[in-house]
Amino acid sequence: MSNAIEKTDVLVIGSGFGGAITAYHLAAGGAKVTVLERGPWLRSTDFEHDYKLGSSYTRAFDFVVGDGMSVLGGNCVGGGSVVYFAAMPRAPRFVFDRHGSIGRRMWPATLSRDTLDPWYDRIEESLSVSKQEWSDVSYAGGLWAAACNHAGRTANPLAVAIDNSKCANCNFMMAGCRFEAKQSLTVNYLPAAIAHGAEIRPLHEVQHLTRTAEGDYRIHYNVIDDQDYRVHHESGVIEAKIVVMAAGAAATPVILQRSEAHLGSMPYAVGRYFSGNGERLNTAILNEDKVAELLGLSRGDGALPYGANAIGRGPTVASWDKLDGSLPEYSRYSLEQLYFPPGLGTILAQVPDATGPTWFGREKKEILKNWKSWLTIFSMIEDDNEGVFGPPPETGNALRISQQMLGRGNLSYRPTKNTWHGWNQSDAEVKEILEKDGLAKVMPWTNDLVGAYTVHPLASCRMGDDPRTSALDDTNELRGHSGVFVTDGSAIPGALTVNPAMTIAAVAERAVPHIVAEAQRRGVAVSYGAPAPTGYKSGRNAVLPLLRNKPRQPAGV
């Protein structure tokens, strides 16, 4: 390792929503910004239309198997935004008043749907979020909507960050968008950050933080191999006045845990209260004759009336009938049609009415023959934040098992009765809707193989007002460690009952003025007020009045 210590004003760890948004605003405000991203930098032309091992698919993902919970996340420049399905609903109003298992409001008193709405507006402007029309939804979305209607439920097209003029309906959305129709951060915030001088370094995996005698931070990293993520080539250190932790809810707490020996005691909530966003999946095997008979759907030319699992895009339609704030906590959830690519979707699906094994064996082989007639429904309930991270591995966020993608993590998750209550209610609802009049046979994915699973990890370093149950204050600053901010999904206090990208992004936008104020206090020449990456300013103008009384704002700014 070289003895020379690099210096920057702001060091951002991770380039997903929490990292890209903060990097842009701080760079646009005049700070020297360096972004360290553990994954590769994949351009749109690198995204391959297959799901083969060693392709862009396995390079861009991080699949960590824990004890009772497995986490699927992004591992590339742009983070989860490269592999998300671009569903961007706002969190329901009741979410912000949830108590969960701690007996008090989990969210800070300063945060509610009303106070977050202006920041949601900023994200809609920056990522061109819009509600889809019925003509935009996929075959799978249309089928789900028709089934909900047949069963006396409602369904709505999702708000998405997709440019429909560019979308080719290729359904490889989860493996990166080669048409740049999906609003990944690689086509907005990150290019804008680079234009303002930010430097992004891929394949740099942060290991821990130390502190200098002057109170600044040193960030220690390893450079990993482009093809085999188990191989480290070199290591280095960068010194910064401000650190923004945005490595994701499965990595940020691990880095902080490993840093405790150097920085001193971490808040109790670091690595605790993890939420999988209450996620669960059901697979329906549709009776194609019933699809025609009950729903009146037809494609003509002798084709199956549905037969459309591989056509279209990810989630396009959701049922929000149970997102009712008058219902008891743990009884509220959304049901969203989802496409999941070959792999987990086929492995974890169970056989309805099986006489033998439910997720493997002869009967499983038989239902795989009808894969074109499968429909996947994604439930997001209110869970109990029961995940806990154990001692960190020697390096990284997990013990790498394979060359890419797969690792064994230190997360332990034991679902409580409350969580199971939500899952069981949502399972029953999906079954009632899709099995009505023999339309389909439905079974949830198995938990036997990899435990519960989530693609939206949250809350492992959550914000709140109670120091005993939150790692961050209401400005996203790490308690007891001024100058360290957490802006990724780990900052969100609990399950949202909807896709969380919109809320993670809005909370990150809201944190930026506070980060700027602390950076100014530490002598960084930086200001706040940049427009959206698109250049639009209406969102900026809407939030500026909210900042007049923001904490730690130096006089004259």
Q: List, as one string, the DSSP characters of 369-436.
A: TTGGGEEEEEEE------EEE-SPPSSSSSEE-SSSSEEEEEEEE---HHHHHHHHHHHHHHHHHHSG
Task: Give the gyration radius of the chain's Cα atoms.
Answer: 23
pLDDT value at residue 301? 79
Query: Which of 349, 348, 418, 344 has the alpha carbon at shortest distance from 381?
Result: 418
Residue 463 phi/psi, 5° resolution?
-90, 160
| Beta carbons within 8 Å of 352's beta carbon, 6+ residues apart | 285, 367, 441, 442, 443
pLDDT value at residue 310? 63
405 token code pair: 């993608």
Can you spell out the DSSP letters for 348-360?
H---TT-SS-SSS
**310 with 370: CB under 8 angstroms?**
no
User: In which residue are the tokens 């993670």 written?
Assistant: 504
pLDDT value at residue 540? 72
Kindly give the parts of the chain with pLDDT less than 50.
1-2, 549-557
What count of Cα atoms within 13 Å lies in the side-chain half-sphere of residue 367? 28
Strands (E), 196-276: 199-201, 204-211, 217-224, 232-245
Query: Which of 455, 452, 481, 475 has the alpha carbon at shortest distance from 463?
Result: 475
**253 with 20: CB under 8 angstroms?**
no
**197 with 183: CB under 8 angstroms?**
no
Greatest alpha-carbon pair distance for the chain in Å reads 75
| Parallel, antiparallel or unpaired: strands 156-157 and 232-245 | unpaired
pLDDT value at residue 554? 35
Taking the alpha carbons at both ends of the chain, their separation in whole angstroms is 40
| 21: DSSP letter | H
**265 with 372: CB under 8 angstroms?**
no
Q: Which string of b and e fits 447-482 if b means at least 16 CB within 10 Å?
A: beebbbbbbbbbbbbbbbbeeebbbbbbbbbbbebe
pLDDT value at residue 342? 67
pLDDT value at residue 538? 77
Total-model pTM = 0.95
pLDDT value at residue 309? 65
Element (H, E) at 61: strand 61-67
pLDDT value at residue 541? 76
Can you spell out the DSSP letters for 83-145?
HS--B-PPPPGGGGG--TTTTS-SS-TT--HHHHHHHHHHHHHHHT-EEPPGGGS-HHHHHHH
pLDDT value at residue 11? 98
Element (H, E) at 50: none
| Beta carbons within 8 Å of 56's beta carbon, 6+ residues apart | 42, 46, 47, 48, 175, 176
pLDDT value at residue 3? 63
| 79: DSSP letter | T
Can you spell out the DSSP letters for 275-332?
B-TTEEEEEEEE-HHHHHHHH----STT--SS--TTSB-S--EEE-TT--TTSPTTS-
**259 with 209: CB under 8 angstroms?**
yes
